[in-house]
Structure 1
Amino acid sequence: MTATPTRRERQRQATYDEIVEVSRRLLRDGEDVSIRAVATAMGLTPPALYRYVDSHAELMALVARSVFEDVVDSMTLARDAQAPDDPAAQIVASAAAFRGWAMTHREEFQLVFASAASPGPTSTSGDDSAGISTQVPITSLDGCLPSETGVDLFGAFFGEIFGRLWERYRFPVPDDADLDPEVLAALRSQIEPGVGAAGLVTPGMIWMFERAWARLYGTVTLEVFGHVHPVFISSGALFRAAMLDIGRELTIDAEWDRLQEIASHEY
């Protein structure tokens, strides 16, 4: 039986929720997401905010997890709108929902999908009287683990559908001997500790998943940042072409007549 949260626990959770909400608003507005900026927007001092987050990295991890949860929620709605025994339609709908979310959440997309691991721009604001330095990256997830940011939720979502897609279509998957030894070692490391996405049980399956993700991610990133002709974006032609390329490798291209309608849906 789950214990009912105390009043203090509810108040503390409400503050955490406000911290995330304010941080995401600053991010969407193109403002610094520093400890000082978030504290100021909440009517607090930086030392007061440090009662809830130990570091800027922890702050950004909270924000990233919230963002990933929103992305997965959007993809879940799209997936569940398709028949449960139709993984081809589900994975195309989920990819289209991911694209739709990314195109309307550019700043948050940049944080969780295009943020470099190395430190980015920094804020030099701080509270010297409290002995607290806030000279930290303002839009980087540097120092955050995948489990903290929620990227594992995203990978598991697509991995589960991908596994069911293979069960249905049995698309070709490379054997271990067909993979580059360095690549094989890296893929095995994702399986042995149990950190691979759900549904991906062999190095070859993970490799196929990574290749499909690289095409989807690369296409959506180009579109989000306007690095291709505007007509390619507005028409959705580039995205549909990328999905067809992925479909050929996953042997679902024979069903493209119906799947492209799903790929064209505005989520």
Structure 2
Amino acid sequence: MKNYIIFGASKGLGDAFVKGLPEKNDNVWIVSRSRPKSLDVNDGVQRHWIEADLALPTACDQIAAALEGHTLDALIYNVGIWEKEGFQEHYDFEQDDPVEIATMIHVNVTSPITCIQKLLPNLKKSENAKVILIGSTAGIENTNNKQVTFVASKFGLRGIGNALREHAREYGIGVTCVNPGEIAANVPYEEGAKKAISLYNGTRIPVQDMVSLVKCVVNLSKVSCVKEIHIPAMLDRNA
């Protein structure tokens, strides 16, 4: 039996992790602002909702209180907000709102630091704990993205992973940063990979691929140290 906590799990990729990673009798704590529909899935997995807004500095304490005394085997930080007009042709960095910039940095960089810091005691209780940070190919070199704050935050997440890995190494906790390209996040996990592949002609990664990849890392022994994985779509020549 494994105990998971998945951040940003009410929809899209996070919802896929909640449905695809755990097995019968596993426990999953779901962190999100809105109630996840996965709570209604009846598959033998015990799902618990922690209603939290990661834009608030108090969220880490709230989440830690909900997990007090519990062992965590896998922490998946799957949160990454971007500019309101980001990834669109007309996007202009010079028009970004400073308040929006500060919020992105908090949610994408500060929040993973503080939340993981608070939950390390829970991870230390596990015999083979894993921390998975979901980054982006936008946070690696030469990917032609102009969203300054989002790109900076995803570069920052990789830095968090590198430093956290060294801190957690003595406790046998693995830390992996997974950097996907565009994901077909609007095609629900239960509708299958074939639909996502067909809909986007192979230009967006099916959520099922991400689930398979993370499941592999989570199930590795504590001997293996998987530092970082880049996974762009095969047809994405900019990643």
Could you state the TM-score of these two structures normalised by the residue count of structure 1?
A: 0.28
Highest CA radius of gyration, 1 or 2?
Answer: 1
Question: Structure 1 or 2: larger strand share?
Answer: 2
TM-score after normalising by structure 2 = 0.30
